């Protein structure tokens, strides 16, 4: 019984160290928050009411073509919610425009499907 208690406590104490290594605290190449989703690295950038997701290969950090990708961001903040559809833009970006400026404290949930059919969600904060 004593060994089980020690094992449980060691697992509990080790969980916070795993959380510290999440991608969410890392900055992408353009200074935006980076998350792993659907087998790619997604970097989110906002400017005014424009939301941009830059897509990179997690193995080598190189840009990934967004041709054939579909994506949307659920934007929540200030009591309002809006779904912003993102369209491929340039070589490795997806862009969309919200009705209002993306303010501080906004929560953004990305839903993405790659050209290969992998899909996933990632949550970002501003």
pLDDT digits (tens, 9 = 90+) for 35-74: 999 999 999 999 999 999 999 999 999 999 999 999 999 9
Q: Rounded CA gap, 118 and 39, in Å?
A: 7
pLDDT at 103 over 80: yes
Length of the chain: 126
Q: Rounded CA gap, 9 and 4, in Å?
A: 9
Q: Rounded CA gap, 71 and 112, in Å?
A: 4
Q: Which residue would you say has higher pLDDT here, 12 or 63? A: 63
The predicted pLDDT at position 25 comes to 57
Q: Which residue, chain included where needed, has tokens 């087998």?
A: 39
Give pTM, 2 decimals: 0.78
| Contacts of 118 by beta carbon, 8 Å cutoff, 6+ apart | 38, 39
């Amino acid at each position: 019984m004593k060994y089980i208690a020690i094992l449980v406590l060691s697992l509990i104490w080790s969980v916070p160290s795993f959380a510290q290594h999440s991608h969410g605290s890392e900055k992408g190449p353009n200074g935006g928050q980076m998350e792993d989703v659907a087998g790619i690295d997604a970097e989110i950038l906002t400017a005014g009411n424009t939301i941009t997701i830059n897509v990179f290969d997690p193995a080598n950090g190189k840009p990934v073509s967004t041709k054939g990708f579909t994506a949307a961001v659920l934007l929540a903040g200030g009591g309002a919610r809006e779904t912003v559809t993102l369209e491929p833009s340039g070589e490795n970006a997806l862009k969309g425009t919200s009705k209002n400026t993306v303010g501080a404290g906004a929560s953004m949930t990305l839903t993405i499907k790659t050209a290969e059919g992998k899909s996933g969600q990632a949550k970002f904060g501003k």
